A and B are shown apart, each in its own frame.
Chain A
Amino acid sequence: LAKTTQPISMDSYEGQEVNITCSHNNIATNDYITWYQQFPSQGPRFIIQGYKTKVTNEVASLFIPADRKSSTLSLPRVSLSDTAVYYCLHHNAGNMLTFGGGTRLMVKP
């Protein structure tokens, strides 16, 4: 089963940049790295996905080194509304998603 390791929790303050790193040592050649965000009482929501190097969208950036054994989700200038659980996954299309424990991000004023 695809397995990732990420910090259980992180604290930050409004306006700061937050970087959450995830380890995925057993990533397969065809796997993509995907990050989801989950607010309380809601389903997980797709944030960003990438295969290698850097991907950026309107919400976040994803940095993936050449060996692809880790990835870093970067949230620029977080706000209180970014308080959520962030899940890192790697998977191949058509295969099961295996969610780990996620990183609980707390943004403080």
Chain B
Amino acid sequence: DAGVIQSPRHEVTEMGQEVTLRCKPISGHNSLFWYRQTMMRGLELLIYFNNNVPIDDSGMPEDRFSAKMPNASFSTLKIQPSEPRDSAVYFCASSLYIGQGSQETQYFGPGTRLLVL
């Protein structure tokens, strides 16, 4: 299995531009998570999907951030317009959710390092 795939691995853009990050979860997984990691705030959960439906987006910073999951094998995180404070590493993770009270392991992708100038 190729694991969770993210693209691009690195992105440099100018303030005000639109940024789209992409994620392909592990085949067969039904949950997908987007995280952001910075030195100041550590690893934060932004949003997660179960069976392609957003379950909790309370971690999304503001309206400039949006995430979609049109099918089980693809998700995007979009920032429009981007700002310098959005600079961070964005991770996508996927898991197989069986039910409450069961074990669950999240598998993380390599991340996208975003720099907004």
A residues with a Cβ closer than 8 A to B are: 30, 32, 34, 41-46, 49, 87, 91-94, 96-102
A-B contact pairs, 10 of them (CB 8 A): A30-B101, A32-B103, A43-B91, A46-B105, A49-B103, A93-B104, A94-B100, A96-B59, A99-B43, A102-B42
Residue in B closest to A32 when the chains form the complex, CB atoms? B103
B residues with a Cβ closer than 8 A to A are: 4, 31, 33, 35, 42-45, 48, 50, 55-56, 59, 91, 93, 97-111, 113
A32: B residues at CB distance < 8 A = 103-104
Within the complex, the shortest CB–CB distance from B26 to chain A, in Å, comes to 12
- Tally the A-B contacts, defined by beta carbons under 8 Å: 62
Within the complex, the shortest CB–CB distance from A30 to chain B, in Å, comes to 4
Which residue in A93, A97, A99 is a CB contact (below 8 Å) of B103?
A93
